[in-house]
Amino acid sequence: MTTWLQEQFRRYYTRPRIRFPDRFPRREYALVPFEEQHMQRHLAVKTREDLQSLLERRVPAHIYYSSAYYETPDAPTMAEKGWMGADLIFDLDADHLPGAGGMSYPEMLAAVKQEMIKLLDFLQEDFGFEEADLAVYFSGGRGYHCHVTDARVQTLGSQERREIVDYITGRGLDTQSLLQEKTVYRQGNITQTSLEMPLPDEPGWRGKISREIIRFFQSLLDAPEEEALQQLTQFEGIGPKTARTIYQGLTPQRIQRMRQGKFDQFPYIKKMAPHLIRRSAVELRGEPDEPVTADVKRLIRLPGSLHGKTGLRVEHVPLGYIDQFDPLVDAVVFDDSPVALTLKKGTAISMKNRSFDLQPGSHTVPAHLAVLLVGRGLATVDS
Amino acid sequence: MDIYVLARYPFLSEAKEVVRRENVRTEEILHDPIYERARDIGRQRVTDALEEGVVGSYPVASETDALMNIFSYPIARMIVASVGHPYFRGRYALAEAKRAYEFLQGESQDFLLQVARELEVAVDDDLRLHFADYLRHAPTRSQRWKLVNMPLSQGWLSLEHRELARVLQNAIQHRLFEELRDMRPPSEISNVFRGEVTAIRNTLQQREMREKAEMGEASVTKLPPCMRMLLAAIQTGANVPHVGRFTLVSFLNAIGMETEEILNLFAASPDFDRERTRYQIEHITGKVSGTDYTPPSCASIKTWGLCPTDKMDAICRRVNHPLSYYRIKGRRRK
């Protein structure tokens, strides 16, 4: 029996807007049908029409393709598939964000987008990837994906990919050598030391940390005293008294000295450094502690397909548009035609710039919202 | 390139070209008294690799010496290939690469660049290395070499002379290993070097037996802290992520535990499902999937957040792999 939701998906898949991955005939495809939870794997397609007809025939709730490309993508085991290489995939999901539990759906999406913007800075500035080799997608659910198709990284193994993840998340960073105590003056038993920090224009993490430290102290200097003190006391080990000392010692001259790599007598920074490092890093953890990017054969949602729990499209986000991109406008595919449904749970959401604050019970809502509510199991369509 | 320089790097294509240009037949190299010295050095290269782990530098006083050094290299490779032992191929490649590293440190930047190009390691004119090749060849297992601690900018990172030489050592090792893997030695070789080949095989076999003995009966008391923690978590029914199960099972399999033994260890778990667990174990140990996974290294375990850093002990700090921990622990108990 075809459900209402399935019927909506079927209509979309008669004329979908799929973005075909590079070398799409070399990829493995996998789908989850509406009727069952089990994933069907090891599918392959030879032509665009094959994939099109697969979508039309099967109308999947979810469809994925492999980041890897293979000699024989439909072979049942890895050994028989013959791994040839794989795109580098970054999967940022609200689940990986600290504090996501207390956020609304749009807030989560906005927070993940900020992480993606940070990630893109790493990929372009540190790793030097060209725009043509980067593609960002809204996942249709609670996150964003970034696909890197630079040929130089496609043949990297999982150990090497893990190094890239570690770079972006700041794991294994040698923080001790970032802030070093240098002896500047010594006579008899009088020793004067100065704390040195990296210069803002140094390459790699050293410059990144330096810029973050300067930015942070500049923002303290610019903020009203109350706010600055409050910011400072948020750091572990910094009480109101220490915060005041730091704030009072903060002058434009001191920040100028920081730009030259000098901290002078400023021992508190050592306590603050780990937190400032965390702010510069990207939150990028997969399934409990699983670094998704290091996987050389992961399955990723097919761009242009629909997410079975939201009806939103896996939408390409042009790099220059990411700031304005709003998934609840830009990834909506279904129209505004009215649908009568029964809501089980109260829901507040804004879609296509229209806010809804719905109590449990009967409602008539636009089709795109109906798809999302039914997909998530929050409502049933009245027949 | 100078023939004396080539004697230090006999694996470079230019050195191979020298051998080719001399236009001697394999037969002559193997039998002609003129090449006696080359055969001796060839034997020495292989013995050094086996015994010392690094190929020595042999005196080069004349052009003939240099030439004999260059010729000794293909001979050594033929011996290694006819031993036909994957572990020994790796060891020999490493031993040659280490020798090259010792020389490379004293060479000019231009020379390093030239070697890098031949090895297809992307280095620009300012001696900056592309990160992808850095990741392929740098010893990133140690914290100092981790990419996160390198001055990466726009995809490139600059290295000091000595660091670049070190990266090239690994690139050489990888290249030589690949070449050896694909090499089919002429059958003649095992006649001429029969004694050497047999002796090496025996030594390798003895070493393997010694290692097996060190490994001993699979025993839980020798487990490193990470594995003990994972095992305890599974036995108490705590939620262990998939990578955690994978890490533990592949490790227990590698120390010689059978599926049944692993099952019995896991049986303490309150939600233990024997058949489901058996399937999962056999998937990892290769009975179902056809792939026999090797247990992950310390670096991977750390990345996955499974290394209990507060429980690390002295042995942990010495090793890069949990299996090394297990071996050392076994040695100590005797």
Domain that holds residue A103: 4-170+283-330
Residue A143: closest CA among A104, A91, A85 = A91
User: In this structure, are A54 and A179 located in the same domain?
Assistant: no
Are A18 and A45 in contact, with CB atoms under 8 Å apart? no
| pLDDT tens digits, B116-175 | 999 999 998 788 999 999 999 999 877 889 999 999 999 999 999 999 999 999 999 999
Output the pLDDT for position B185: 83
Output the pLDDT for position A306: 97
Q: Is B145 on the interface with A (CB under 8 A)?
A: no
Domain that holds residue B258: 220-332
User: In this structure, are A235 and A146 located in the same domain?
Assistant: no
User: In this structure, are A162 and A288 located in the same domain?
Assistant: yes
Q: Which residues of B touch A129 (CB under 8 A)?
A: 155
- How many angstroms from the chain centroid is the CA of residue A271? 28
Are A20 and A302 in contact, with CB atoms under 8 Å apart? no
DSSP A122: I
Lowest-confidence segment of B10-19, B112-121, B222-231, B304-313 by average pLDDT: B304-313
- Greater model confidence, B322 or A99: B322
User: In this structure, are A240 and A369 located in the same domain?
Assistant: no
| Residue among B148, B242, B290 minimizing CB distance to A290 | B242
Question: CA triplet A239, A241, A243: central angle to 5 degrees?
Answer: 70
User: In this structure, are B201 and B328 located in the same domain?
Assistant: no
User: In this structure, are B299 and B230 located in the same domain?
Assistant: yes
Of the CA atoms within 13 Å of residue B25, those in its CB half-sphere come to 5
Q: What does each C-alpha distance from B75 to B18, B37, B54 come to in angstroms?
A: 14, 11, 17
Q: Is B153 on the interface with A (CB under 8 A)?
A: yes
User: In this structure, are A126 and A211 located in the same domain?
Assistant: no
Lowest-confidence segment of A16-30, A60-74, A107-121, B201-215 by average pLDDT: B201-215
DSSP A60: -
| Residue among B148, B297, B304 minimizing CB distance to A289 | B304
Please provide the average confidence, as pLDDT, over all residues in chain B.
88
User: In this structure, are B230 and B207 located in the same domain?
Assistant: no
User: In this structure, are A218 and A181 located in the same domain?
Assistant: yes
Output the pLDDT for position A179: 77
Q: How many domains does chain A have?
A: 3
pLDDT band at B246, cuts 50/70/90?
A: confident
Contact between chains at A204 and B152 (C-beta distance less than 8 A)? yes
Is pLDDT above 60 for B334?
A: no
User: In this structure, are B201 and B310 located in the same domain?
Assistant: no
Output the pLDDT for position A289: 37
User: In this structure, are B206 and B93 located in the same domain?
Assistant: yes
* Residue to test with chain B: of A78, A83, A121, A127, most B Cβ within 10 A: A127
- Greater model confidence, B197 or B237: B197
Read off φ and ψ for residue A379, nearest 5 degrees.
Answer: -150, 160
User: In this structure, are B193 and B96 located in the same domain?
Assistant: yes
Q: Which residues of A touch B157 (CB under 8 A)?
A: 203-204
Q: How many domains does chain B have?
A: 3
Question: Average pLDDT for residues A249-273, to the nearest whole number?
Answer: 82
| pLDDT tens digits, A298-314 | 899 999 999 999 999 99
User: In this structure, are A202 and A96 located in the same domain?
Assistant: no
User: In this structure, are B95 and B236 located in the same domain?
Assistant: no
Are B287 and B266 in contact, with CB atoms under 8 Å apart? no
Identify whether A150 is a catalytic site residue: no
DSSP B142: S
Identify whether A382 is a catalytic site residue: no
User: In this structure, are B204 and B231 located in the same domain?
Assistant: no
Residue B262: closest CA among B237, B284, B292 = B284
Q: ipTM of the assembly?
A: 0.89
Output the pLDDT for position A310: 95
Distance, CA of A66 to CA of A75 (rounded, Å): 13
Q: What percent of chain B is helix, strand and coil (3-state, nearest 5)? A: 65, 5, 30
User: In this structure, are A69 and A199 located in the same domain?
Assistant: no
Q: Which of A174, A222, A289, A323 is catalytic?
A: A289
Question: How is residue B216 written in tokens?
Answer: 């001993």
pLDDT band at B245, cuts 50/70/90?
A: confident
Distance, CA of B226 to CA of B311 (rounded, Å): 8
Residue A8: closest CA among A348, A332, A362 = A332
pLDDT band at B309, cuts 50/70/90?
A: confident
Looking only at Cα atoms, what is the longest distance across chain B?
75
Q: Which residues of A touch B246 (CB under 8 A)?
A: none
| Residue among A153, A206, A288 minimizing CB distance to B132 | A153
User: In this structure, are B13 and B98 located in the same domain?
Assistant: yes
Question: How is residue B285 written in tokens?
Answer: 């140990």
Task: Determine the residue of chain A that is closest to B140 in CA distance.
Answer: A163
Axis crossing angle, helix B259-266 with helix B274-285, rounded to the nearest 10: 130
Distance, CA of B94 to CA of A88 (rounded, Å): 30
Is pLDDT above 90 for A77?
A: no
Q: How many CB atoms lie within 10 A of CB A79?
A: 11
User: In this structure, are A28 and A161 located in the same domain?
Assistant: yes
Is pLDDT above 70 for A294?
A: no
User: In this structure, are B195 and B77 located in the same domain?
Assistant: yes
Read off φ and ψ for residue A350, nearest 5 degrees.
Answer: -120, 125
Lowest-confidence segment of A167-171, A183-187, A210-214, B150-154 by average pLDDT: A183-187
Residue A8, judged by CB atoms within 10 A of its CB (0-12, 13-18, 19+), counts as buried
